[in-house]
A and B are shown apart, each in its own frame.
Chain A
Amino acid sequence: MSTTRSRLAPWLFVSPGLVLLIVFSFVPIVAAVVLSFQQVAVFGQGTWVGGGNYAQMAGDPLFWTSIGNTAVFTIGTVPTSMAIGLLLAVLLNRAMPGRALIRALFFLPMVAAGVVVAVIMAWIFNGDYGVLNNLLAALGLPRVPWLTSPDVAMLTFVLAVVWTRIGFCMVIYLGALQAVPPELVEAMTVDGAGRWTRFRRLIWPLLRPTTFVLLVVNVVFSLQVFDIVYVLTGGGPGFATTVLIQYIFRTAFTNGEMGYASAIGVVFALILLGFTALQWRANRRAEEVA
């Protein structure tokens, strides 16, 4: 009796999660692939179009624009957030008055929902009444069209997201810094190495696994960005800040092209899968080092 029980027990515990994942993850994943070979209206029946959706993508300038914007956005956000996060972690790793509070303030933006971040940034960067332009004007500088100029909007979008990302990078780097053995640092100091040498020769190499994990995680975060840009710029002006997820959303729910949207989703999944494979490898390496 006890063996029957112990055979059933794990299934009892795992089944609620399993049912939810089957219905709302596995079925949709398979359906996404199937849909990507079909043409479907929102509530209509699908018709098979073979690789038609994928061919359409290749010749769709908006698809390529959104890929390009996503790439620019990712390159703009990831190194910036990581560099600032690392700098802050190094500086805030030594004792100073009010350190816990300073760290908390840098971390604070992480708490805000993407939509809240977007509305406050839309307001701060507002061309006519925003506090930033009001400050510039008070200093006698020209007002900047932060959100209305196609050339500046991407920069504004990047700034808004970097604001939310710095604290995350800082916290992860702080964790890694605290794992650096103080004896090693002491030894190098005794040998007469300055701060910069200690950082370059000892700390930076020790941080490399963390840096790699952070790099991949940040890239994946950036590739998936949606809330902030949807509310901040709506992808505009024109299509200057339209990113991939937003293009999927627009294709599916504004244009009603469910099949085509799924195909873009599948391509997006493959891109992410590539980066996630890197992440798993990085994790393994990080654990080996740790």
Chain B
Amino acid sequence: MTSLVHDTRPALEAPAAAPAARRSRMTPGRWVVWALLVGGALVMAFPVYWILVTALTPGGQSRSGEFYLWPSEPTLANFAEAFASQPVGRWIVNSIVIAGIGTAITVIVALMAGYAFAKFSFRGRGVLFGAFLVTIVVPAQVTLVPSFLVVVDLHLVDTIWAVILPRAGDAIAVFIARQFMLKIPDALLEAARIDGAGELAIFRRIVLPMSGPLVGVLVILAFMGKWNDFLWPLVTLQGTENLTLPVALSSMQSSGIFDNPWGPIMAIAFLSLLPLLVVFLVFQRTFVQGIASTGLK
């Protein structure tokens, strides 16, 4: 699977050597293909565009049978209504706290475990690594019920920890970290040991600084998974005030809390999409790499 991760790296970039000569060879047939691709791309982007448009469209126009592509009178009233009638601010804070703390724990835990598996030989390493990988194979949905009962036993239900802790140990992240750290030269670590550096110091001062790209992939992957997670917070969170954005969003369509529900719903959907959209635009390459590596699941 590492090969998949590797291969994808250049996928979204223009190749450095894309010769201008090739571009000039755009024949009429190629322009037709190009136009079809552009049309397809616009269709693909349309739903994302439509979230924004609907969030800006007054209720009256949303509730009409007419076809439009841009609201006749764009308004922020939907955002105002959503914030005024629902604890949207709380949901945003909950999502940020849960995804933020969860990502930090997952990444640190994965870096440490990945380092142990990559750079130490110890008794039981093979068995232990195999056991980690088993948890990738058995998806979380299968253990939904017993995991919930564990959370009940630990008295965590309806707290942020009910969402964070069961999702904190991520074997895929451990696997990705291990594959990356295998490439760190042993000689470097040995030299530091001979100089008398402690194991934690070696990890902090040598291993981590060499793992920049790895940390980028792990952070993006973990943050996206946690920010978008649905089934698990749906099961473990109960009070309206305690929900995350996706869980809150899921309950709104049928709840009748808004007169003209689609505007405010899309306003909230837009807010929950925005952070990942920004991350995607800024870190497109790392993002694609990260997503490609989830092919491991």
Contact = CB atoms under 8 A, between A and B. Distances in A.
B132 A17 contact: yes
A99 B14 contact: yes
Interface stretch (A67-75, A123-131, A186-194): A123-131
Interface string B16-40: 0011001100100010011001101
B139 A283 contact: no
B45 A108 contact: yes
Nearest to A21: B169
B195 to A, nearest CB: 13
Q: Which size class do B's interface residues fall under?
A: 35 or more
Interface in B222-275: 224, 227-228, 230-231, 235, 246-247, 249-250, 252-253, 262, 265-266, 269, 272-273
Nearest to A287: B3
A92 B11 CA distance: 10
Nearest to A269: B142
Given A31-B149, A115-B250, A175-B8, A268 B122 contact: no
Nearest to B143: A28
B132 A21 contact: yes
B188 interface: no
Contacts of B42: 105
B125 interface: yes
B67 A230 contact: no
Contacts of A138: 66-67
B138 interface: yes
Nearest to B123: A7
Contacts of A179: 7
B48 A112 contact: yes
Interface string B65-100: 111100000000000000000000000000000000
Nearest to B296: A217
A249 B146 CA distance: 12
A109 B284 CA distance: 13
Chain B, interface SS category = helix
A25 B169 contact: yes
B124 to A, nearest CB: 9
Q: Which size class do A's interface residues fall under?
A: 35 or more
Nearest to A6: B120
Interface string A215-255: 00100110010110011000000000000010011001100
A109 B3 contact: no
Contact of A286 (B3, B13, B138): B3
Interface stretch (A8-16, A56-64, A150-158): A8-16
B210 interface: no
Given A28-B146, A97-B34, A120-B47, A269 B116 contact: no
Interface string B166-210: 111101001000000000000000000100000110010000000
Contacts of A217: 295, 297
Nearest to B200: A12
Contacts of A24: 147, 150, 165-169
A111 B50 CA distance: 15
A231 B4 CA distance: 32
A108 B63 CA distance: 28
A191 B64 CA distance: 60
B62 interface: yes
Contacts of B45: 105, 108
Interface of A: 2, 5-7, 9-14, 16-21, 23-29, 31-32, 35, 43, 88, 91-92, 94-124, 126, 128-129, 131, 133-135, 137-138, 163, 166-168, 171-172, 174-176, 178-179, 210, 213-214, 217, 220-221, 224, 226-227, 230-231, 245, 248-249, 252-253, 258, 261-262, 265-266, 268-269, 272-273, 276, 283, 286-287, 290
Interface of B: 1-4, 6-15, 18-19, 22-23, 26, 30, 33-34, 37-38, 40-42, 44-45, 47-48, 50-51, 54, 62-68, 108-110, 112-113, 115-117, 120, 122, 125, 128, 131-132, 134-135, 137-139, 141-150, 152, 165-169, 171, 174, 193, 199-200, 203, 224, 227-228, 230-231, 235, 246-247, 249-250, 252-253, 262, 265-266, 269, 272-273, 276-277, 279-280, 284, 287-288, 291-292, 295, 297
Given A18-B113, A131-B67, 15 more contacts: A14-B128, A17-B169, A24-B150, A26-B131, A28-B143, A95-B18, A104-B284, A112-B48, A113-B228, A115-B230, A120-B50, A217-B297, A261-B144, A269-B138, A290-B3
